[in-house]
Structure 1
Amino acid sequence: MRRQEYMGVQAQRGVAMVEFAITLPLLLLLLFAIGEFGRMLLQYNSLMQANRDAVRYVAGKAWNPTLGQVALTTDLQNQAKNLAVYGLPVVPAGTEPVVQGLTTANVQVTAVGTEHVQVSTSFTFVPLLGGGLPDVLGDGMSLSFPLVATTVMRAL
């Protein structure tokens, strides 16, 4: 009896290594996905904070008391776009954007009605792995998707 039990244990040698080899790619993929999701949330949080700062800046400067409504000049719009992208209304040379790849073309500054201003920032999130997953039979699946931050505030 004891001899058979001992042989059963020897027959199981190496099974744990095979199971580990099978599950390791899945665990690494899961870890990478969690990291990419965290990176996406960090970029979205940075976009939202920069967007809020820009709309707060515009709301404080856009009110025209003579007209009794919001007046957006081109200079004010450019300053708000710079604030949303770089964190500063006037950008010195060599300043990095708050999110890598974000430009002032991704930001729109508009008046909503006569008393409100809106700043909207759109950015396409691209994972570190690339733009998509290859498909065996047809088109691949894109992993890129837009991050949009929009804030409306009443002019002060």
Structure 2
Amino acid sequence: MERCDFKHPQAQQGVAMVEFAIALPLLLLLLLGVAEFGRMLHQYNSLLQANRDAVRYLAGQAWNANLGKVEINSVLLARTRNIAVYGVPAPQPGKEVVPGLTTANVTVGTVGAEHVQVSISYVFRPVIGSGLPALIGNAIPLNFPLVATTVMRGL
């Protein structure tokens, strides 16, 4: 049997530092990816809640009992869009539910004679940039749409 000699501690100095320097960028990229995913889920949840609030308001206000169907006038349309964007019927610039959301992102309409629909389309923009550089071809885009749509029967 051959005897196995272990290396002296002096020969191993600095190896842990090199391994840490190699692993650190990968760990930071993973941490940043998880944080961005959490931020995206938070924004999507905020959009869903704002959408539900807006369609609930619209369903309660749009029903015309005399005609037996929903009717949406311009004032109700504007208030519904403001509720979807700001959370209240009156506009409050700078207090959007999600940063960068505008009333142009909100679509309000009817589905048949008894149902109303509110849809919010929003493009999620990560903090790290709009795309990842690709080694071959075009950059990989990181912006993607978040869409929240709710239909409710007029009350």
Q: TM-score w.r.t. structure 2 length?
A: 0.93
- Mapped to 2, the partners of 1:39 and 1:100 lie a distance apart of 12
Identity %: 61
Superposed, 1:20-59 pairs within 5 Å as: 20-59=20-59
Q: TM-score w.r.t. structure 1 length?
A: 0.93
- The offset of 1:10, in angstroms, is 1.9
- Mapped to 2, the partners of 1:84 and 1:71 lie a distance apart of 19
> RMSD of the alignment, in Å?
1.4
Cα deviations by residue, 1:20-57 (Å, 9 ceiling, x for unpaired):
00000000000000100010011001100000000000
Which consecutive residues of structure 2, in runs of 5 or more, have no partner in the other structure? none
Structure 1 residue identity aligned to 2:131: G
- The aligned residue for residue 152 of structure 1 is 151
- Mapped to 1, the partners of 2:70 and 2:26 lie a distance apart of 55
Number of residues of Structure 1 aligned to a counterpart in Structure 2: 152
- The aligned residue for residue 128 of structure 2 is 129
- The offset of 1:151, in angstroms, is 0.5
SS class of match (1:72)? coil
SS class of match (1:100)? coil
Evaluate the alpha carbon distance shift between residue 33 and residue 50 of structure 1 in structure 2; reply closer, same or farther with a 3 A threshold: same
- The offset of 1:95, in angstroms, is 4.3
Which consecutive residues of structure 1, in runs of 5 or more, have no partner in the other structure? none
SS class of match (2:145)? strand
- The aligned residue for residue 98 of structure 1 is 97
- Mapped to 1, the partners of 2:5 and 2:43 lie a distance apart of 57
- Mapped to 2, the partners of 1:5 and 1:21 lie a distance apart of 28
